[in-house]
Amino acid sequence: MDTLEICYMSAGDLSKLVQNKEVSPVEIIDAHLTRIEATEPVLNSFITLLADESRAAARQAEKDIQAGRYRGPLHGIPVGLKDLYNTGGVRTTSGSKIFDTFIPAEDCTVAAKFQEAGAILLGKLNMHQFAYGPTGENPDYGHMHNPWDPDRVTGGSSGGSGSAAAAGQCTITTGSDTGGSIRIPAALCGIVGLKPTYGLVSRWGLTALSWSLDHPGPMVRTVEDAAITMNVIAGYDPKDVASAKVDIPDYTTALTGDVRGLRIGMPKEYFEAPLDPQVRKAVLDAVSLLESMGAVVSEVSFPMFNQSQAISSTILMAEASAYHRDLLEKDGHQLYEPVRQRLEAGLFISAADYLRAQQARALLDQEGRRLLDDVDLLAGPTEPVTAPEIMASRVMAGEQEIGVVGALTQYTRPYNINGFPAISVPCGFSDTGMPIGLQLAGKPFDELTVLRAAHAYEQATDWHTRRPPL
């Protein structure tokens, strides 16, 4: 089989070939290492590449499968983890040279679950330093580059995960999402990114940015692969104080292709905010397609969307500054300057204002729940713009010039505040060939409905089959 074809196959398709012994894990890993060698000089997706280790793991997986010890759909499938997921015996930098030699003693819960499922760790993926930024800048390990146009950002903070999945360097990658850090690079790189409900996937062993806003989740090329990954990584973890004790369904049962009767709300406030006309059209076309497939679409109002940036920023900045305060005092001079500034600016937030933001968060949560009494999903753009140029500080969204940080987190932050599940799925390309994402958000722990709609849309379009020109 052509090695590039292997690199662009989904985990769902690859796993069938692996199980039937038509392709071996060794072939899969070799194909990906070849792809990485060819594309990494442009993309810079990896901080640590585990070539020898992954080849050894692939040989072991091949032996196990040949001996009848097949572990399931991720057995022999290459995975890349954002470099803030602790991996036992493998350095974990959080995107900073301060931790260049930090080697955790044990795996985080998600890494352990991947290992148990037989997935093969290809490497640790580049990221915005300490996950504190939405663009994918990293002066310590080099900036990340968008596979669709290397002069443009991947989005962040899980930028290496976005570029690695989009360019066929990894079959499955993971991100962490505090203000949009899974969905932003997913949208800008043209892949699928799922931010699960808060508490559904364990945060244990991940470097925190903001305890109450951090969500680990999958970044992949198909909705089916998001479901397959969730089957492995979701579930209660007593090591995580925020882990939820809920029943875990088989997420692949959502992949029916049927959206008949599904009620989709379009918050009007999303379309009153700064928004590129091409993004607007792609998103409206996507929702119209879902409507033509039997979904019931209506306009709804989400007024607190307009306060979501203030609520999210206040909580995030206060919690990030608290978490990193010792580091700031000891090694602040080694931090990327914009990251250091965000951390130090958070020190100026009073306890009373932090708590007021938490009060406002409760109100936003109530508003979101009321909205989802009447509809099953909220739909809108993931991003108001396509990927900006690397190091740009401002971007045009329609006729309005706005700050890049605010723009990229405009639509994603509300679902970090209320913890609702939200997915970004490719829904088109701009005239310049840059990907556009559709965001669908659902009720807490109703990932099945989110995946169902995203999958039905994906299967009715061919956006996810396009490949970047690399």
Partner 1 sequence: MAAAQTVRPTGDDDMASEKQLSREEFDHLAKLLGVDGEPAYLDELYSQTRGVFINANILREIDVSGAEPDMVFMPPAN
Q: Which of 138, 418, 424, 439 binds partner 1 (CB under 8 A)?
A: 418
> Which residue among 15, 82, 163, 243 is the active-site one?
82
Q: Which of 25, 193, 419, 426 binds partner 1 (CB under 8 A)?
A: 419
Q: Which residues are bridge partners to 381 per DSSP?
A: 438
Q: Of 377, 411, 371, 373, which is closest to residue 290 (Cα–Cα)?
A: 377
Cα separation of the two ends of the chain: 20
Q: Least separation, in Å, of the C-beta of 245 and partner 1? A: 8
Binding segment for partner 1 (CB under 8 A), chosen from 12-20, 96-104, 257-265, 343-351, is 343-351
- Residue 356, number of CB atoms within 10 A of its CB: 14
Q: How many CA atoms lie within 13 A of 202 on its CB side?
A: 22
Q: Is 245 a catalytic residue?
A: no
93-127 per-residue burial string, b: 16 or more CB within 10 A, e: under 16: bbbbbbbeeeebeebbbbbbbbbebbbbbbbbbbb
Q: Which residues are bridge partners to 91 per DSSP?
A: none
Q: In this structure, what DSSP letter does residue 153 have?
A: -
d(CA 347, CA 318): 7
Q: How many residues bind partner 1 (CB under 8 A)?
A: 67
Q: Which of 191, 227, 375, 407 binds partner 1 (CB under 8 A)?
A: 407
Is 238 near partner 1 (CB under 8 A)? no
**412 Cβ contact partners less than 8 Å away, ≥ 6 residues apart:** 177, 179, 180, 183, 184, 195, 382, 422, 439
> Which residue among 157, 210, 308, 312 is the active-site one?
157
Is 249 near partner 1 (CB under 8 A)? no
Q: 126 or 197, CB closer to partner 1?
A: 197
Is 363 near partner 1 (CB under 8 A)? yes
Is 365 near partner 1 (CB under 8 A)? yes
> Which residue among 163, 181, 313, 424 is the active-site one?
181
d(CA 287, CA 254): 19
Instruction: Assess contact for 94 and 76: CB atoms under 8 A.
Output: no
Site residues for partner 1, window 128-147 (CB under 8 A)?
A: none
Q: What track of x and - describes contact with partner 1 for positions 306 through 325 (by CB under 8 A)?
A: xx-xxx-xx--x--------
Q: Which two tokens stand for residue 322?
A: 């608290």
- Using CB atoms within 10 A of its CB, is residue 91 exposed (0-12), middle (13-18) or buried (19+)? middle
Q: Is 15 a catalytic residue?
A: no
Q: Which of 329, 373, 431, 462 binds partner 1 (CB under 8 A)?
A: 329
Q: Which of 192, 290, 402, 434 binds partner 1 (CB under 8 A)?
A: 402
- Using CB atoms within 10 A of its CB, is residue 134 exposed (0-12), middle (13-18) or buried (19+)? buried
Q: Which of 14, 444, 452, 455 binds partner 1 (CB under 8 A)?
A: 444
Q: Which of 116, 272, 374, 389 binds partner 1 (CB under 8 A)?
A: 272
- Residue 1, number of CB atoms within 10 A of its CB: 12
Is 244 near partner 1 (CB under 8 A)? yes
141-178 per-residue burial string, b: 16 or more CB within 10 A, e: under 16: bebbbbbbbbebbbbbbbbbbbbbbbbbbbbbbbbbbb
Is 410 near partner 1 (CB under 8 A)? yes
Is 396 near partner 1 (CB under 8 A)? no
Q: Of 96, 171, 60, which is closest to residue 335 (Cα–Cα)?
A: 96
Q: 125 or 304, CB closer to partner 1?
A: 304
Q: Of 302, 272, 280, which is closest to residue 418 (Cα–Cα)?
A: 302
Is 355 near partner 1 (CB under 8 A)? yes
d(CA 358, CA 154): 31
Is 432 near partner 1 (CB under 8 A)? no
Q: What track of x and - describes contact with partner 1 for positions 31 through 50 (by CB under 8 A)?
A: --------------------
Is 362 near partner 1 (CB under 8 A)? yes
- Residue 331, number of CB atoms within 10 A of its CB: 15
Q: What track of x and - describes contact with partner 1 for positions 148 through 187 (by CB under 8 A)?
A: ----------------------------------------
Q: Least separation, in Å, of the C-beta of 154 and partner 1? A: 19
- Residue 40, number of CB atoms within 10 A of its CB: 17
Q: 78 or 199, CB closer to partner 1?
A: 199
Binding segment for partner 1 (CB under 8 A), chosen from 40-48, 69-77, 289-297, 417-425, is 417-425
Q: Which of 347, 391, 392, 396 binds partner 1 (CB under 8 A)?
A: 347
Is 346 near partner 1 (CB under 8 A)? yes
Q: What track of x and - describes contact with partner 1 for positions 67 through 96 (by CB under 8 A)?
A: ------------------------------
Point out the residues that are catalytic. 82, 157, 181
Residues lying near partner 1 in the complex (CB under 8 A) are found at 197-199, 212, 241-242, 244, 246, 266, 268-269, 271-275, 280, 284, 299, 306-307, 309-311, 313-314, 317, 329, 337, 341-342, 344-350, 353, 355-363, 365, 393-394, 398-400, 402-407, 409-410, 418-420, 444-445
